[in-house]
Each structure stands twice: as structure tokens, then as C-alpha cells.
């Protein structure tokens, strides 16, 4: 595996789950939980004769962002599409709960310093959701994650990081949305229903899943940034992600709360306005929505570099 | 239907193991594998355990790992592999890569 | 559906189920305390207030007969964008209604579950269907932690993401038995077989022993996903009342950890269906404890 200093300038998109986990926190600070030597494979895959992985496709651990303990959950898309089963689902829930444990200990031991040492949860998503080979256990794990997220509210920030090959779909699509903050690179995609299923439901004329540009316009980071579902759009290096996470770790809980898109009645009202807009407009393409939000030449946006895009883009005004 | 578990033991003249206690490389992606190397006192020998969904390639696995042991001259080493349909060439390449990573100096 | 089937399943009959469960004639749709919902928005969802065993409760269900003209993938009980946000609003309005009341007076929320999925369309992805379903789940989790007893009753289809959205954040989940055509799964075994390329006969054989992937109420019971299986339709009311009371009692005793998704994990371990989950988390706890000082004291 690459050294931290090499990871800094490496592509986030191409990085393995472990490289991302190590590189997202400060140099030399990452400690992995249930690392490969623990050999905690999925017992259910063994029964089905399916290949296993020592970390069950998820790298969890703790590192530091400045003085903030950062609990990292990093999914490996190359292992069964990063899908969630019993073991890796439990790892995810376990890591979030450890962040809450750490928060409690810091409050008890360093009562005046909570803000300065406040832990955070960082999840690097690369998954299609539930692992079908152990689908029931995977489904139940998703519910536990949402429950743990709610426990973190106003105490421990939860940050979704999305920018890997598989994207973030299925149940994990709403898990990512339920975090406080979302950071993406241009290649990142978040959705609930994958493109193939939409095509199957609506027909190829309405939605052609093989049209990569269309898929990106619908679920990709630029669209998410315009509609305010993505808080930070960054360049595709692990170093850029690391830098932004450091900034987020230092923000007040009040500022963190303002970055949310769901999680209160006021936010529901705000989202209902967006739904009303989409219902009234019946857009053929996300570009119709981009135009509505003030982007005169929406077709040009996908072509722009991240830096150019950030300079010119108009976003949905938040109420 | 169950996974295949293959175990091999190799004799090696060398007693040169890896400097770290253990080292891990790779992902069990489709057509790929992960390798876990561990320093073990095996009187110079090398033992290997392969977990794979593919049946009937025991001899090929043995040959590739033997080649790796011979070519690199490692000893006192435990090798564990989780495989998902990797070709012999990929197996050999990943083993070499795993050893290179296990012996790389911690420059930082 | 012919008459025989009608008698033996509650699929597609969410509104009827509401009437069978609550005190006779007590259900007032689109009203929660002093809040009135717009009646023509989110036709696929049914929300309102009823009286159950003499106490006010919030009801949330799906209407399998409704079509949402603005969002055409929403029919047959699908939870779409408007539906998800309406359901979330119902939960937040419930919290608001009782916010100054003591724990014992926080009204229950009853989820009648019969939904085949979340809106799978282009408009849904453009607006972000993930947020609508996520929003509803966070609202339910908040209500649960605020002290409202939440009981979900699966009367028909509880499928994948739609079950996560509408059901799996409840304190307790009860379900009509398989005999009534009740479906709880991510995907039927035939689809799992197709996608994972695993032989269907082998999967069927393995499913007898291993509850983690096969479709069915009994498997979810073993995994702790369902608290109790209801054997007769006429028992729905009494079983739900029993669970509302039990949940309220546990909350009063400060035993919230035994409820909701976390409580279902404990139950799944006790019932032997999900035993690895606990081992994983215990091991992680141990590993963190060994290094905690370095991070907490940083």
C-alpha cells in the first residue's frame, strides 16, 4: 500500500478502502479495528461458497484530524460491490457507537475542551446497499445505522464522503443523505434507485441507463451540489478530502447542523418545496432544474473542471 | 457449494522471513485475491492456506506458491489467501507484491 | 382478487386494517392535533389521528389503491417523494403535539405496513428520493427516542428499502403470519438467485437452515426483525395494544436500548439468527479501549 505522503496526491476515486481510510486522517494516526489479521470474514458467504475477505469489505478504525478523533468507515467496492451484510454492517454500527463512547469519555475527562477535541464519524461510501447473499441481516444493519446516526445528532458530526467507482446507492443512498455533511468529488454519485432499475421501470426512452452522461447528470456530484445535497465539492485527491475533513472537524455543532438537508420539520418543508418544483416542472433532465436555479447554459456544466464549475455554478437558494 | 480450503506446506532452505509481524495486500475482487503474510517460526518452512470458490485447481495453486517460495527464497512465513477466481499469473504477481510491501522500509 | 383471496390476505387493504385496529370510527385522516394536512398531496400515504384503547394515536399507512398523477411511479402502495415527506411531517407533528407532556402521555405511533418499495423513477432521483425516505426514518428515530411508543404492524408487503423507511425504525414490529401472504424481504429468492448467480435449489435448501437471506416472516422473527407473529387477522388490534403498552412500560423504566433497531439486534442474538453482529462489536470495543488514550488525550 502507498505511504501517507504518496496517498495525499493520489486519486481518491482509484484508491482502495484501506488507502482512503489511512489517507483521510492525519499522517500516521490511523488504527484499524478488526484488521485483516483478526480474520473476521462473513460466515454467511462461506456457506454459500462465495469468496470472502478478511475485513468483509470494510475498513474501520480511528485516526486524528488535528485533536479530533475521527472514526473512519471505508467501504471496498471491489469486494461484492461494497454491499452490506451482517459483519460489515456491525462494523459500521460499532464504529459509530465508538465515536459516541469517545465523546462521552472526552466530556467526562476534559469537560472544558469538548469542542476542541470533539470526535467525528467519517464514512467513505462505495456500495449498492444491501448484500443479497445475507440480505435480511444487511437490511437490519441499515436500520441500526440510521438509529446510531440519530444518536449522534448535536453531539458527534457525521460526514459522508462519496467519490468512488460504485457510488452510493440503495439503502446506503439514504444513509449518506442522513449524515450532517456530504463531501464529494466530481465522480461521486448518490441515489436510491440504480439507473438500470429506473430504465426497467420507465422504459429506455425515458431513462437510458447506458447513457453515462445522463446517469451522472441525475445522481452525480455536480447535480447534488446544485440542489444543495452536497456541501463540499472537491478535487479528486485524497489530500483534498483530508483537508476539507480537517475544516469540518473544527466547525461548531451549530454550523454543522446548518449543513444538513434532512432531519427536522423545517428541512422537510424545504425539501417539499423542491419536490413541488420537480412535480410542477416535470423535468426531462436534471439540466432543466439547473436552469431553473439560474444556470443559463446548463449543458456546459458537466464539461467544466471542478474549479471552473465552482466558480460559475448557481445553486438552489436555501430557505 | 462450500468454499474450498487448500493447505500446503513447503520446505525452504532460507530462514529469512518478513521484517514485520504481519502484512496484508490486495482485495478479494472478482479475478483478484488478498494476501495475508505472517512471520512464523516454521523451522525455515512456508505454509499456505488458500480459500477459494473455485474447485479442482489444487495442483496449480501448489505450483504457483512453490514457484513464489523458490524464486524469492522466503522462509518462516505463513501465507493466507482469499481468492475470487484469480488467474495463476495474478496469484504470482500478488504474492510478489505482498512480499515487497511486507519488506518495504517504513520510510515515514 | 377473488373472494377466497380477499379473506386470506390484507395486502392492499391498509385502510381497512386501520379501521379494524383502532377504536370504532375514531380515525380522522389528515389531522394531527391542531395541524391539518392538504388532502390532495401525497395520495399514496394515509396519515391521521385515531383512538386506540381509549388513547390518541398517530396512524401512518399506505393507500395501495391511490395513484399519484404527478409522480406516476407511485401506485400500489409505493412510498414516493410526497408520501415520504408527508409521513415524516406526521411524525414531527406528533412530537410537537406532545412536546410538553410527560413521558407516559406521549402518544403512540402505529405504522400499518404494506408497501412494495420507494418511488423508482427519474423525477424521484432528480429531487432525491433518498432524502424523502431518510427524512421519514430520522423523524421516527427522533420520536422513538423522545418517548413515543412506535409499533409497526406488517399486514402485507414489507419490501427492502420501503420497509426500512416505513417499519424498521419502530420500537416493536409485529407481523401477520405467512399464511396471509405477508411478505418481508429484500428480494424474492428467485431474484437473489439470478443476481448472485447461485443455484435456486441450493439456495432453497440452505434457506431452511440459515435465515439471513431468504424471504419470509419466520426468518425475520429468528433474526429479531419481528417481535411477534400474529396468527389471526382479528388479533391485530389486541396484539398492537399489548405491544404499545409493553413499549411504553420499557420506556418508563429507562430501557430504551431494548427497543428499536438496537433492541432487534439483541433479540436476533438471543434467537440465534444474528450472533456475529455482537461478536464484531465487542471485539471492536476491546480494540478501541486498548488505544483510546492516544486519541482521547490528543
**Cβ atoms of A48 and C206 closer than 8 Å:** yes
- As a whole number of angstroms, the distance between CA C295 and CA A155 comes to 17
**pLDDT tens per residue, range A37-86:** 999 999 999 999 999 999 999 999 999 999 999 999 999 999 999 999 99
Domains: count for chain A:
1
Say whether C206 sits in a helix, a strand or coil.
helix
- Are residues A207 and C192, on separate chains, in Cβ contact within 8 Å? no
> Subunits with at least 3 CB pairs below 8 A relative to chain A?
B, C
Which stretches of chain C score pLDDT less than 70?
Answer: 1-7
CB of A109 less than 8 A from some CB of C: yes
Global pTM value: 0.97
Beta strands in C53-100 (DSSP E): 55-62
Place of cell 461521486: A188
Which H or E run includes C53?
none
Q: How many CB pairs under 8 A join A and B?
A: 64
Q: Nearest-CA neighbor of C161 among A198, A147, A171?
A: A171
- As a whole number of angstroms, the distance between CA A292 and CA C61 comes to 34
In chain A, which residues have their Cβ closer than 8 Å to the Cβ of B84?
51
**pLDDT tens per residue, range A161-176:** 999 999 999 999 999 9
Residue of A nearest to B21 (CA): A37
Q: Nearest-CA neighbor of A178 among C115, C164, C150, C144?
A: C164
Which H or E run includes A121?
strand A120-125
**pLDDT tens per residue, range A234-273:** 999 999 999 999 999 999 999 999 999 999 999 999 999 9
Task: Pull the grid cell for residue C294.
Answer: 492516544
Q: What is the ipTM of this complex?
A: 0.98
pLDDT at residue C42, as a whole number:
97
3-state SS of chain B is CCCEEEEEEECCCCCCCCCCCEEEEECCCCCEEEEEEEECCCCCCEEEEEEECCCCCHHHHHHHHHHHHHHHCCCCEEEEEEEECCCHHHHHHHHHHHHHHHHCCCCC
Q: How far is A142 from chain C (nearest CA, A)?
A: 8
Q: How far is B91 from chain A (nearest CA, A)?
A: 15
Task: Pull the grid cell for residue A137.
Answer: 441481516
**Cβ atoms of C251 and C259 closer than 8 Å:** yes
Q: How many CB pairs under 8 A join A and C?
A: 279
Long-range contacts of range C33-37, CB-CB < 8 Å, 24 or more positions apart?
C33/C93, C33/C94, C33/C96, C33/C97, C34/C97, C35/C93, C35/C96, C35/C97, C37/C86, C37/C89, C37/C90
pLDDT at residue C260, as a whole number:
98
- Are residues A197 and C134, on separate chains, in Cβ contact within 8 Å? no
Q: What is the CATH number of the domain that holds B83?
A: 3.30.230
Q: Out of C125, C169, C295, whose CB is closest to A143? A: C169
Q: Which of residues 196-255 of A touch C (CB under 8 A)?
A: 197-198, 201-202, 206-207, 218-219, 223, 227, 229
Q: What is the CATH number of the domain that holds C250?
A: 3.90.226.10
- As a whole number of angstroms, the distance between CA C282 and CA C289 comes to 11
CA angle, C138 then C40 then C74, to 5°: 60
Residue among A147, A152, A280 with most chain C CBs within 10 A, to mutate: A147
Could you tell me the end-to-end alpha-carbon distance of chain B, in angstroms, rounded to an integer? Answer: 45
Exposed / middle / buried, residue B74 (Cβ in 10 Å: 0-12, 13-18, 19+)? buried
Task: Pull the grid cell for residue A123.
Answer: 464514512
Q: Out of A85, A98, A265, whose CB is closest to C288? A: A98
In chain C, which residues have their Cβ closer than 8 Å to the Cβ of B1?
199, 202, 206
Exposed / middle / buried, residue A115 (Cβ in 10 Å: 0-12, 13-18, 19+)? exposed
**Cβ atoms of A173 and A206 closer than 8 Å:** no
Exposed / middle / buried, residue B51 (Cβ in 10 Å: 0-12, 13-18, 19+)? buried
- Are residues A1 and B38, on separate chains, in Cβ contact within 8 Å? no
Task: Pull the grid cell for residue C237.
Answer: 388490534
Which H or E run includes A153?
none
Which stretches of chain B score pLDDT less than 70?
Answer: 1, 105-108
Residue among A36, A80, A87, A165 with most chain B CBs within 10 A, to mutate: A36
Which H or E run includes A233?
strand A232-234
Task: Pull the grid cell for residue A205.
Answer: 426512452
CB of B2 less than 8 A from some CB of C: no
Which H or E run includes C17?
helix C14-21
- Are residues C287 and A137, on separate chains, in Cβ contact within 8 Å? no
Q: How far is B29 from chain A (nearest CA, A)?
A: 5
Q: Could you tell me if residue B12 is inside a domain?
A: yes
Question: What's the Cα-to-Cα distance from C94 to each of A32, A130, A270, C17, C169, rounded to whole Å?
Answer: 42, 31, 19, 21, 16
Q: Which of residues 186-215 of C touch B (CB under 8 A)?
A: 199, 202, 206
Q: Nearest-CA neighbor of C53 among C184, C194, C239?
A: C239
The dihedral of CA C159, C164, C170, C172: what is its sign?
Answer: positive
**pLDDT tens per residue, range C159-186:** 999 999 999 999 999 999 999 999 999 9
- As a whole number of angstroms, the distance between CA C280 and CA B79 comes to 24
- As a whole number of angstroms, the distance between CA B65 and CA B79 comes to 9
- Are residues A50 and B3, on separate chains, in Cβ contact within 8 Å? yes
Phi-psi domain of A101 (left: phi exceeds 0; alpha: psi -120 through 50; beta: other): alpha
Q: Nearest-CA neighbor of C162 among C71, C53, C73, C62?
A: C62
- Are residues A47 and B30, on separate chains, in Cβ contact within 8 Å? no
Q: How far is C29 from chain B (nearest CA, A)?
A: 51
Place of cell 460504485: A166
Place of cell 475485513: A55
Say whether A158 sits in a helix, a strand or coil.
strand
Q: Out of B3, B24, B108, whose CB is closest to A4? A: B108
Task: Pull the grid cell for residue C62.
Answer: 399506505
pLDDT at residue B2, as a whole number:
81
Task: Round the average pLDDT of chain A to a whole number and report it.
Answer: 97
Say whether A71 sits in a helix, a strand or coil.
strand
Task: Pull the grid cell for residue C213.
Answer: 437471506
- As a whole number of angstroms, the distance between CA C78 and CA C64 comes to 8
- As a whole number of angstroms, the distance between CA A145 and CA A89 comes to 8
Q: Nearest-CA neighbor of C126 among A268, A180, A297, A291?
A: A291
Task: Pull the grid cell for residue A110.
Answer: 476534559
Torsion, Cα of A80, A83, A88, A89 (10° steps):
-160
Q: How far is A5 from chain B (nearest CA, A)?
A: 9
Q: Out of A43, A262, A274, whose CB is closest to C127? A: A274
- As a whole number of angstroms, the distance between CA C199 and CA C197 comes to 7
Q: How far is B87 from chain C (nearest CA, A)?
A: 20
Domains: count for chain C:
1
Q: Does the pLDDT of residue A11 top 60, yes or no?
A: yes
Exposed / middle / buried, residue B16 (Cβ in 10 Å: 0-12, 13-18, 19+)? middle
Q: How far is A319 from chain C (nearest CA, A)?
A: 16
CB of B1 less than 8 A from some CB of C: yes
Residue A28 sits at φ, ψ, to 5 deg, of: 70, 15
pLDDT at residue B108, as a whole number:
45
Task: Pull the grid cell for residue C30.
Answer: 389528515
Q: Could you tell me if residue B108 is inside a domain?
A: no
- Are residues C160 and A207, on separate chains, in Cβ contact within 8 Å? no
- Are residues A54 and B38, on separate chains, in Cβ contact within 8 Å? no
- As a whole number of angstroms, the distance between CA A18 and CA A64 comes to 16
Name the residue range of residue A119's domain. Answer: 4-190+229-262
- As a whole number of angstroms, the distance between CA C170 and CA C33 comes to 21
Question: What's the Cα-to-Cα distance from C105 to each of B39, B70, C35, C152, C170, rounded to whole Å?
Answer: 63, 75, 19, 19, 18
Residues of B with CB under 8 A from a CB of A: 1-3, 22, 24-25, 27-30, 32, 34, 36, 38, 51-53, 80, 82-85, 101, 107-108
Say whether A65 sits in a helix, a strand or coil.
strand
Residue among A43, A51, A164 with most chain B CBs within 10 A, to mutate: A51
Place of cell 405496513: C113
Q: Could you tell me if residue B71 is inside a domain?
A: yes
Q: How far is C92 from chain A (nearest CA, A)?
A: 6
Q: Out of A27, A76, A78, whose CB is closest to B108? A: A27
Name the residue range of residue C195's domain. Answer: 3-296
Task: Pull the grid cell for residue A81.
Answer: 460491490
Task: Pull the grid cell for residue C293.
Answer: 488514550
**Other beta carbons less than 10 A from residue A183's beta carbon:** 27
- As a whole number of angstroms, the distance between CA C16 and CA C6 comes to 12
Domains: count for chain B:
1
Name the residue range of residue B26's domain. Answer: 4-103
Q: How far is B84 from chain C (nearest CA, A)?
A: 14
Q: Could you tell me if residue A46 is inside a domain?
A: yes
Amino acid at each position: 500500500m502507498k505511504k501517507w505522503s504518496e496517498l495525499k496526491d493520489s486519486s481518491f476515486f482509484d484508491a482502495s478502502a484501506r488507502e482512503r481510510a489511512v489517507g483521510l486522517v492525519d499522517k500516521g494516526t490511523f488504527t484499524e479495528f478488526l484488521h485483516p489479521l483478526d480474520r473476521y470474514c462473513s460466515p454467511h458467504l462461506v456457506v454459500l461458497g462465495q469468496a470472502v475477505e478478511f475485513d468483509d469489505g470494510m475498513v474501520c478504525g480511528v485516526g486524528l484530524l488535528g485533536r479530533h478523533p475521527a472514526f473512519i468507515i471505508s467501504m471496498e467496492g471491489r469486494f461484492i460491490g461494497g454491499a452490506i451484510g451482517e459483519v460489515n454492517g456491525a462494523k459500521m454500527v460499532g464504529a459509530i457507537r465508538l465515536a459516541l463512547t469517545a465523546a462521552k469519555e472526552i466530556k467526562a475527562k476534559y469537560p472544558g475542551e469538548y469542542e476542541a477535541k470533539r470526535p467525528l464519524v467519517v464514512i467513505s461510501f462505495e456500495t449498492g446497499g444491501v448484500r443479497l447473499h445475507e440480505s435480511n441481516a444487511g437490511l437490519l444493519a441499515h436500520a441500526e445505522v440510521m438509529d446510531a446516526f440519530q444518536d449522534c445528532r448535536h453531539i458527534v458530526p457525521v460526514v459522508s464522503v462519496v467519490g468512488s467507482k460504485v457510488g452510493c446507492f440503495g439503502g446506503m443512498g439514504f444513509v449518506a443523505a442522513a449524515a450532517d455533511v456530504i463531501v464529494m468529488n466530481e465522480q461521486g454519485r448518490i441515489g436510491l434507485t440504480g439507473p438500470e432499475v429506473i430504465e426497467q421501470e420507465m422504459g429506455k426512452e425515458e431513462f437510458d441507463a447506458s447513457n453515462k452522461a445522463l446517469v451522472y447528470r441525475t445522481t452525480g456530484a455536480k447535480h447534488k451540489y446544485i440542489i444543495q445535497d452536497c456541501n463540499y465539492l472537491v478535487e479528486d485527491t485524497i489530500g483534498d478530502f483530508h483537508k476539507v475533513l480537517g475544516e469540518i472537524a473544527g466547525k461548531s455543532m451549530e454550523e454543522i447542523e446548518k449543513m444538513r438537508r434532512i432531519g427536522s420539520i423545517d428541512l422537510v418543508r424545504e425539501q417539499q418545496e423542491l419536490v413541488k418544483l420537480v412535480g410542477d416542472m416535470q423535468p426531462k433532465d436534471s439540466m432543466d432544474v439547473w436552469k431553473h436555479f439560474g444556470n443559463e447554459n446548463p449543458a456546459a456544466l458537466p464539461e467544466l473542471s471542478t474549479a471552473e464549475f465552482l466558480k460559475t455554478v448557481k445553486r438552489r437558494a436555501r430557505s | 457449494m462450500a468454499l474450498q480450503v487448500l493447505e500446503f506446506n513447503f520446505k525452504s532452505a532460507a530462514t529469512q522471513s518478513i521484517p514485520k509481524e504481519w502484512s496484508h495486500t490486495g482485495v478479494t475482487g472478482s479475478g483478484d485475491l488478498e494476501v495475508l503474510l505472517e512471520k512464523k517460526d516454521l523451522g525455515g518452512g512456508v505454509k499456505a492456506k488458500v480459500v477459494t470458490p473455485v474447485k479442482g485447481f489444487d495442483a496449480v495453486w501448489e505450483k504457483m506458491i512453490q514457484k513464489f517460495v523458490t524464486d524469492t527464497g522466503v522462509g518462516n512465513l505463513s501465507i493466507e489467501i482469499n481468492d475470487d477466481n484469480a488467474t495463476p499469473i495474478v496469484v504470482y504477481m500478488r504474492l510478489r507484491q505482498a512480499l515487497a510491501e511486507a519488506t518495504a522500509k517504513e520510510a515515514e | 382478487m377473488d373472494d377466497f383471496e380477499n379473506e386470506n390476505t390484507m395486502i392492499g387493504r391498509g385502510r381497512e386494517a386501520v379501521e379494524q385496529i383502532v377504536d370504532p370510527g375514531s380515525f380522522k385522516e389528515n389531522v394531527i392535533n391542531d395541524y391539518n394536512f392538504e388532502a390532495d398531496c401525497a395520495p399514496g400515504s394515509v396519515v391521521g389521528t385515531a383512538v386506540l384503547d381509549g388513547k390518541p394515536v398517530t396512524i401512518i399507512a399506505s393507500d395501495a389503491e391511490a395513484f399519484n398523477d404527478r409522480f406516476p411511479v407511485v401506485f400500489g402502495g409505493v412510498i414516493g417523494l410526497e408520501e415520504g415527506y408527508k409521513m415524516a411531517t406526521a411524525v414531527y407533528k406528533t412530537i410537537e403535539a406532545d412536546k410538553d407532556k410527560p413521558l407516559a402521555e406521549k402518544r403512540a405511533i402505529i405504522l400499518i405496513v404494506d408497501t412494495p418499495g420507494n418511488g423508482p423513477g427519474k423525477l424521484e432521483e432528480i429531487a432525491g428520493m433518498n432524502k424523502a425516505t431518510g427524512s421519514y426514518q430520522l423523524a421516527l428515530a427522533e420520536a422513538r427516542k423522545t418517548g413515543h411508543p412506535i409499533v409497526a404492524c406488517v399486514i402485507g408487503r414489507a419490501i427492502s428499502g420501503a420497509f426500512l423507511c416505513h417499519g424498521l425504525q419502530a420500537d416493536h414490529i409485529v407481523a401477520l403470519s405467512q399464511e396471509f401472504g405477508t411478505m418481508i424481504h429484500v428480494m424474492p429468492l428467485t431474484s437473489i438467485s439470478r443476481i448472485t448467480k447461485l443455484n435456486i435449489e441450493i439456495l432453497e435448501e440452505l434457506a431452511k437452515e440459515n435465515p439471513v437471506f431468504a424471504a419470509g416472516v419466520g426468518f425475520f422473527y429468528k433474526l429479531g426483525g419481528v417481535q411477534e407473529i400474529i396468527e389471526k387477522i382479528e388479533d391485530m388490534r389486541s396484539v398492537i395494544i399489548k405491544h404499545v403498552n409493553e413499549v411504553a412500560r420499557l420506556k418508563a423504566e429507562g430501557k430504551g436500548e431494548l427497543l428499536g433497531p438496537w433492541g432487534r439486534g439483541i433479540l436476533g442474538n438471543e434467537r440465534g439468527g444474528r450472533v456475529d453482529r455482537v461478536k464484531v462489536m465487542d471485539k471492536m470495543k476491546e480494540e478501541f479501549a486498548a488505544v483510546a488514550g492516544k486519541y482521547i488525550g490528543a
